[in-house]
């Protein structure tokens, strides 16, 4: 299974867990994969009922307590949290949120010095902010603090990292 499939299934699994626990009041019709994920969560919890599962680590409860302590509806992702997936040579991405209504994602994209993000087209509008490093698109150079909006349906030229760079993107996965 690829990193991309794992992330996709992780988001689906998270949604299924909320539905299984009765914490998701969504009135959406469920498709077969979601039903199987819900059943998988039922199997996971069955192990707790039969004393076959090890107790959850204390760090899990600490993490839950910290999230609840901030405020309802707020979720924080710290730098060490999440999973980086490799997209290509010198390109890594860490998705921190997927909007279930739009399918758009908020994620960090890390580019190694000299790496290139190939030309591409955006199926939806994309917002990008450079957090660290220097990027080049044709003759224009963008550094930390630069923001770029890319309209859906328009081609995006290749992006080259002149230095190691970290960007934050809200757009298509």
Mean pLDDT in residue range 123-148: 96
Is pLDDT at 9 greater than 60 in this prediction? Answer: no
Nearest to 145 by CA among 159, 160, 166: 166
SS3 138: coil
Q: How far apart are CA 135 and CA 149, in angstroms?
A: 15
Q: How far apart are CA 68 and CA 108, in angstroms?
A: 24
Give the predicted TM-score (pTM) of the model: 0.61
Q: How far apart are CA 164 and CA 63, in angstroms?
A: 31
Q: How far apart are CA 19 and CA 1, in angstroms?
A: 25
Give the model's pLDDT for residue 105.
Answer: 93
* Phi–psi pair at 51, nearest 5 degrees: 60, 25
């Amino acid at each position: 299974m690829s990193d991309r499939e794992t992330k996709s299934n992780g988001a689906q699994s998270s949604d299924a867990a909320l539905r299984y626990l009765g914490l998701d009041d969504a009135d959406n019709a469920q498709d077969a994969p979601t039903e199987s994920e819900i059943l998988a969560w039922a199997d996971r919890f069955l192990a707790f009922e039969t004393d076959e599962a090890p107790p959850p680590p204390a760090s899990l409860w600490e993490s839950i307590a910290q999230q609840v302590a901030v405020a309802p509806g707020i979720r924080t992702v710290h730098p060490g949290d999440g999973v980086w997936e490799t997209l290509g040579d010198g390109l890594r991405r860490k998705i921190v949120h997927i909007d279930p209504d739009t399918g758009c994602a908020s994620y960090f994209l890390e580019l190694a010095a000299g790496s290139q993000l190939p030309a591409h087209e955006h199926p939806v509008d994309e917002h990008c902010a450079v957090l660290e490093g220097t990027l080049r698109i044709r003759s224009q150079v963008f550094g930390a603090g630069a923001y770029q909006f890319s309209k859906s349906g328009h081609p995006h030229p290749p992006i080259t990292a002149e230095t190691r760079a970290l960007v934050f993107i809200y757009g298509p996965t």
